[in-house]
Copies of this chain bind each other. A is one copy, B any other.
Amino acid sequence: MRDFRSPPGSARNGEQLWTIREVASHYGLTLRALRFYEDRGLLRSCREGPTRLYDAATRRRVEVIMKGKQLGFTLTEIRSLIEVSNGNGAPVIGLALEDSQIVEQIELLKQQRAGIDRAIEELCETQRRRGPGLREPTQLRSWTSA
């Protein structure tokens, strides 16, 4: 079996192969997350027996998944976006977003931001109403509706 203490970049047939721990550590993910992505069909690691190994192409898929998450897409959405982009010609790894999808996603994100903005507004407003000064940790009647 493979020596897991070997540094990232162990070669096999000239390919750089990383262990799941190396990939997780490098991208700031958990082992569970990587296994979960594979379980959901977003990733297909090469196997050496039961042990997962990640080549350069698979690592690039990990990056694309992370990018998709950062952009607010669900794993289900990301999976279909990756699949499409791998469809024709050379295997280009990336998110295959149509213009309409981008517009919709921006709209969704803006709505989420608006909700957060309102929350921040209200909390700041409460802070202002209270003002500075000594304050006992007593009951604070915020937003009592009477």
Instruction: Tell me the A residues contacting B by CB distance below 8 Å.
Output: 60, 63-64, 67, 70-72, 84-85, 87-89, 92-99, 102-103, 105-106, 109-110, 112-113, 115-120, 122-124, 126-127, 130, 135, 137, 139-146
Q: Please tell me how many copies of the chain the complex holds.
A: 2
Q: In the complex, are the beta carbons of B70 and A119 less than 8 A apart?
A: yes
- 5 contacting pairs across A/B (C-beta < 8 A): A60-B145, A64-B143, A67-B143, A97-B140, A113-B120
- What residues of chain B lie closer than 8 Å to A106, measured between beta carbons? 120, 123-124, 127
- What residues of chain B lie closer than 8 Å to A123, measured between beta carbons? 71, 102, 105-106, 109
Q: In the complex, are the beta carbons of A99 and B67 less than 8 A apart?
A: no
Main secondary structure on A side of the interface with B: helix
Q: In the complex, are the beta carbons of B135 and A99 less than 8 A apart?
A: yes
Q: State A63–B142 Cα separation when bound (angstroms).
A: 12
- What residues of chain B lie closer than 8 Å to A144, measured between beta carbons? 60, 64, 92-94
Q: In the complex, are the beta carbons of A145 and B64 less than 8 A apart?
A: yes
Q: In the complex, are the beta carbons of B60 and A139 less than 8 A apart?
A: no
- What residues of chain B lie closer than 8 Å to A67, measured between beta carbons? 143
- What residues of chain B lie closer than 8 Å to A124, measured between beta carbons? 106
Q: In the complex, are the beta carbons of B145 and A96 less than 8 A apart?
A: no
Q: State A87–B105 Cα separation when bound (angstroms).
A: 44
Q: In the complex, are the beta carbons of B127 and A102 less than 8 A apart?
A: yes
Q: In the complex, are the beta carbons of A137 and B95 less than 8 A apart?
A: no
